[in-house]
Structure 1
Amino acid sequence: MKYVTISGKDFEEAVRKARDLYGSNLRIHHRRDITRRGGFFWLSKRNRVELTCYVVDPATSIIVEEEKIAPPVEVEEVVVEEEAAPSQQELLLAHARALLEINDFSEKFISDVLERLEENLPLEEEEGLSLEEFELLVIDKIVALIEIDHKSQLSPPKVFVLLGPTGVGKTTTIAKIAALYSQQDSPDYRRSVAMITIDSFRSGAYEQLKGFADSLNIDVRRVSDEEGFFQALSELSHYDLILVDTFGKSPRDKDLAIKLKTMLSVPNAQETKFFLAVAGAFKEQDIVRSMEQFLSFDISALIITKLDETETVGNVLSVCYQKGMPLLFFTDGQRVPKDIQKASASTMLGQLKGFSLDFGSLWVNQVDQLGSPSHLL
């Protein structure tokens, strides 16, 4: 005797399909009701009916006719695949992990975000979040783990020292910060600014900074020793903000490291803050290595440069979280002063990818927001 299985969205459709395929010689042996998950993220359910039938030989049709009066087969209703299917909470957490991974967040950062998300997700399926609601929750957890140095943004120190390895764009960044504070229309944000470079090692370092200073009408000095640095600071003491451009140093060059340390011991410690510039394209271990290289200085916050050369920022944000290091600015191009943004929730979100939400409108240029002169744009 031949057995076949026919399925349909309901009992009537399954019977009709069975009769069409096998005619009147088909007999129903067993019925099973099935509920399967499907749809977007497998969050919806679909009901189907499955019939197990057998085909009788026409020669035994008399016997078959007698079978018709036999007691009806008891129909067993079975719900399958419910236990095997992942819950809505599991699916949403898997989606969160995928988003964090494609943005290059560290495993430590991902684990901590997922743990916080799990605490906030409803246990009941009926109370489930929509995809947009869930992604907003993911964003909230990311932003909550990253500290922003708002105080230094609003009230920069009198002596602002920018440290960083060679090639991260310190000189261009110094010029952008100078323009950011000196060229504002609002007196609440405007500062009188001067610049000093202690980089006497890189060819053209002073000439590059002076070119920026001339275009911005800002005073700039070049110093090569402690005495000259002290004199420059004294002569520029009437300025609100003195930006100091430094030379990059190799961890293997101990003499250069000592010179940098002694030079930067000259400014008044009460008026001075140190900031570290790292490139957005750096790997996580490169960022950590840069922080360790300048460990002898009390770094107040990070400035992330060259974001236009990378597609993800999770590497940087992960290190900031794990090291408890605040963010100050992001830079993403060569234009002075346009390509600099204050670190904020919106600038971070503007760099994230893979989300269904549109964060592009949240990318706010700090200079435009405060109203920069048109000739600088």
Structure 2
Amino acid sequence: MIIKKFQAATENEAIMLAKNELGKDAIVMNIKYIKPKGIYKLFKKASVEVTAAVDEENSYTDGKKMLSEIKKINDNSVSTSAPVNPSLAKKEVLAVKKEENPLFSNPNIIIEPEEEEKKNESETAIEQRLNELQYLLEAQMKVKKETDSLEREQEEKTESKNEACIKLISEKLIQNEVDELYAAQLIKEIEKGLNADASVDNILSTVYQKIILKIGQPKPIEVEEGKTKFIYFVGSTGVGKTTTIAKIAASLKLKRKAKIAMVTSDTYRIAAVEQLRTYANILGVPVKVVYTETEMEDVKREFTGYDIVLIDTAGRSHHNEAQKEDIKRLIEAIPKEEREVYLVLSATTKYKDLLEIAKTYEEITDYNLIFTKLDESDCIGNLFNIKMATGVPLSYTTWGQNVPDDIGQIDAQNIAKKLLGGNR
């Protein structure tokens, strides 16, 4: 049996090719529709491949007919005595066949089967290699596309997670009355150094550390051997200056064994002098009342040799220019290198008013900050706001009336936790 494959543009053409070559007894065994793949699809159309078979006995039918025709041509074109050139005869027969059978004009008809088969095999091998290469490239592109897609999805998820976490942190800061300007500034700074795959704990830790760094180290009152320090406490009426002085005096005397003296110029508030004298008597420290800056010179001479002299000033309105001048003269009565000033602010005061008070005292002198009444406020964002707005050191915080308790140095870690919603 002879089995061969034939390709043509349509099924009928492929079958006709098979019948013409193998004879009318050829049987179609398989029909395959071929779509070009790889780079061939750019310039090659789809085709039909027909697999046909015929018994070898039947395949000689057309061959006998061809020999008969060759014999007739030879009889008509040459004498019987003349030798016949087989090669020439074959060419002439093929020429006749080509004229008689229009299928010979079809370039798909195989004239030399063996050579054509070799050619087809070579082309098939090349096409197979190209297709394999194309499949490989397509597979690689598919894998890359899937990988890129997964990476994009992961990045989007990471960005979405980070954005949600940062947004929540920002909302919590603002909820705790951190000014939106400083909250946005804080978030912007941490976003710059934030890894794309940062965890929620990592983000929170970064914000926590950033807040601590911005609050900075506390600036408490230090005792220096052989030097007398004059410590002024200034601020508005009712912020708790006198009670704060008593707490600090008790801490310095009991814990540091410092030699303490007290001075008050708050002669405007009823019982202010008596309140300070009561604390002084309990602690066993001297107290002196002054009315003018001139009297501060006498205080300086009298208390030379003491470690710390704590000076309570009268509450003054930051809107009253005359009162501002009184405070300025009282402070400047002591040389700058011998004095320190602490501005006492209440955590319950509105942020706008705190800014005005801080600005007013900046015009008078350099100062450190003390915040009182933390127990009377649910939010401590103003501590952070004023620190950011002024840049001056934070020193102490107070949270009650108990003397010598309810006072401590600024705890940046505790403030950061509270600003982020913890340890309330």
State the TM-score bracket (shorter-chain normalisation). Answer: 0.5 to 0.7
Unpaired runs of 5+ residues, structure 2, are 1-145
- Name the SS of the counterpart of 1:322 in structure 2: helix
Q: Which amino acid aligns with 2:269?
A: R
* CA distance in structure 2 between the partners assigned to 1:251 and 1:154 by the alignment: 29
The CA deviation string for residues 146-184 of structure 1, in whole angstroms up to 9 with x for no partner, is 23344x444477011011011101111111111111111
* CA distance in structure 1 between the partners assigned to 2:287 and 2:377 by the alignment: 32
Q: Which amino acid aligns with 1:136?
A: S
Which residue does the alignment assign to 2:310?
Answer: 243
Which residue does the alignment assign to 1:173?
Answer: 244
Contact 1:102 1:354 in 2 (8 A): no
Q: Which amino acid aligns with 2:235?
A: G
Which residue does the alignment assign to 2:215?
Answer: 146
* CA distance in structure 2 between the partners assigned to 1:261 and 1:298 by the alignment: 7
Identity between Structure 1 and Structure 2 (%): 29
Which residue does the alignment assign to 2:198?
Answer: 128
Q: 1:113 aligns with which of 186, 189, 199?
A: 186
Which residue does the alignment assign to 1:163?
Answer: 234
* CA distance in structure 1 between the partners assigned to 2:319 and 2:384 by the alignment: 27
Q: How many Å apart are 1:134 and its aligned residue?
A: 2.7
Q: Which moved more, 1:216-225 or 1:324-333?
A: 216-225
Which residue does the alignment assign to 2:162?
Answer: 89
Which residue does the alignment assign to 1:306?
Answer: 373
Q: Which amino acid aligns with 1:319?
A: I
Q: How many Å apart are 1:227 and its aligned residue?
A: 3.0
| Cα pair distance change 1:142/1:158, threshold 3 Å | same
The CA deviation string for residues 83-128 of structure 1, in whole angstroms up to 9 with x for no partner, is 98762221221122122112111112111111122123221xxx33
| Cα pair distance change 1:266/1:180, threshold 3 Å | same
Select the structure that is richer in strand. Answer: 1
* CA distance in structure 2 between the partners assigned to 1:210 and 1:230 by the alignment: 21
* CA distance in structure 2 between the partners assigned to 1:173 and 1:213 by the alignment: 13
Residue-pair matches, total: 271
Q: 1:283 aligns with which of 337, 340, 350?
A: 350
Contact 2:259 2:306 in 1 (8 A): yes
Contact 1:147 1:324 in 2 (8 A): no
Unpaired runs of 5+ residues, structure 1, are 1-76, 361-377
Which residue does the alignment assign to 1:374?
Answer: none
| Cα pair distance change 1:347/1:246, threshold 3 Å | farther
| Cα pair distance change 1:154/1:258, threshold 3 Å | closer
* CA distance in structure 2 between the partners assigned to 1:264 and 1:200 by the alignment: 16
| Cα pair distance change 1:262/1:154, threshold 3 Å | closer
* CA distance in structure 1 between the partners assigned to 2:420 and 2:186 by the alignment: 17
* CA distance in structure 2 between the partners assigned to 1:270 and 1:91 by the alignment: 50
TM normalised by structure 2 equals 0.59
Contact 2:236 2:316 in 1 (8 A): yes
Q: 1:208 aligns with which of 254, 275, 286?
A: 275
- Name the SS of the counterpart of 1:176 in structure 2: helix
Q: How many Å apart are 1:143 and its aligned residue?
A: 1.0
Q: Which amino acid aligns with 2:233?
A: L
Q: How many Å apart are 1:140 and its aligned residue?
A: 0.5
Q: Which amino acid aligns with 2:237?
A: T
Q: How many Å apart are 1:252 and its aligned residue?
A: 4.1
* CA distance in structure 2 between the partners assigned to 1:276 and 1:268 by the alignment: 18
Q: 1:220 aligns with which of 287, 290, 298?
A: 287
> Are residue 318 (structure 1) and residue 355 (structure 2) matched?
no
Q: How many Å apart are 1:190 and its aligned residue?
A: 3.3
What root-mean-square deviation, in Å, do the aligned CA atoms of Structure 1 and Structure 2 show? 2.5
* CA distance in structure 2 between the partners assigned to 1:253 and 1:300 by the alignment: 19
Contact 2:208 2:417 in 1 (8 A): no
Q: Which amino acid aligns with 2:173?
A: L
Contact 1:199 1:245 in 2 (8 A): yes
* CA distance in structure 2 between the partners assigned to 1:269 and 1:276 by the alignment: 16
The CA deviation string for residues 235-254 of structure 1, in whole angstroms up to 9 with x for no partner, is 11111000110011123433
| Cα pair distance change 1:353/1:94, threshold 3 Å | closer
> Are residue 182 (structure 1) and residue 253 (structure 2) matched?
yes
Which residue does the alignment assign to 2:299?
Answer: 232
* CA distance in structure 2 between the partners assigned to 1:231 and 1:335 by the alignment: 32
Which residue does the alignment assign to 1:103?
Answer: 176
TM normalised by structure 1 equals 0.66
Contact 1:274 1:297 in 2 (8 A): no
Contact 2:169 2:420 in 1 (8 A): no
Select the structure that is richer in helix. Answer: 2
| Cα pair distance change 1:137/1:190, threshold 3 Å | farther
Which residue does the alignment assign to 2:401?
Answer: 334
* CA distance in structure 2 between the partners assigned to 1:154 and 1:133 by the alignment: 37
* CA distance in structure 1 between the partners assigned to 2:405 and 2:160 by the alignment: 47
Bigger Rg, structure 1 or 2: 2
Contact 1:160 1:244 in 2 (8 A): yes
| Cα pair distance change 1:119/1:350, threshold 3 Å | closer
